[in-house]
Amino acid sequence: MRQLFKIAFGLTVVLSAGCAGSQGFDRSAMTEVLHIASSSDGGNRDPSTQNSALSPPVRLAVFFSDHEFPNHQSLRKVEWLSADREQLLQGLASLRDQELVTDIFVLMDSTVQAGNIDGIRQAGARYGADTVLVIDAAGAIDRYNNRYAWLYPTLIGAYLAPGTESAALVIVTGSLWAVHSDWQAPIRTAEGVSTIVGSAVFVEDSAALQEAKEHAIQALSTSIVEQLQLWMYESPPLSQLR
């Protein structure tokens, strides 16, 4: 029993010392891996400045990038779940209701690499899409202790004291590409943040990351809908872009 107590005590000390203070998020690393322009507007330029746009109705394919990069505390790979895909499709559904798109579907093609835009556009053409929306993301975790962490060495506190906070940031990007021409839209970016508070034993970074991802997807879908509404209402016929 004494040995078990020593092990548990050592564990609580390690848990409390291993995430002592907030380190914040390394936004520069996240934007770099996502290839986001360093312009002040984050690449979200005014649609009216574009030379050409889209004409409704279009068939829209959505491609979720499986982006590979070093995975560590300050830079986390974002896994796309079926629920994430469904959430984005639901967020874009109003475009169908407004007859701006005839169909919205997820482009699933294991032969296409995330960075191969030409390959993605060609895959979209094979499935009858007019445009492809490429989604990418990166996440980060900032795990730290708060004022209740002093209770951790009591052992019981390690399970009951809300002394650990896991803050998550997810940056999601969306870039729109015409399938039958070289037209492309400026990249759109959205952020989602989440913080989970609890004991060191039970706080899971993955839960905070998932919640932040959901917030980011919601914000991005709203931005994409607004973007397409502006462009399609002010655009030439789609046949002129082919």
DSSP 95-119: HHHTTSEEEEEE---TTS-TT-HHH
pLDDT digits (tens, 9 = 90+) for 146-202: 888 887 787 677 778 888 999 999 999 999 999 988 888 889 999 999 999 998 888
Predicted TM-score of the model (pTM): 0.81
Query: 10 exposed, middle or buried (CB, 10 Å; 0-12, 13-18, 19+)?
Result: exposed
Residue 204, Cα to own-chain centre: how many angstroms?
A: 18
What is d(CA 239, CA 156) in angstroms, rounded to the nearest whole number? 69
- Split at pLDDT 50, 70, 90, the class of 53 is low
Q: For residue 173, give the nearest of 99, 227, 94 by alpha carbon.
A: 227
**Domain definitions of the chain by residue range:** 19-236
pLDDT digits (tens, 9 = 90+) for 84-132: 999 999 999 999 999 999 999 999 877 788 788 999 999 999 999 999 9
CATH 1.10.10, domain 19-236, yes or no: no
Q: CA separation (Å) from 16 to 3, 13, 43, 162? A: 20, 5, 40, 12
Top-confidence residue, 13 or 207: 207
Query: 61 exposed, middle or buried (CB, 10 Å; 0-12, 13-18, 19+)?
Result: buried
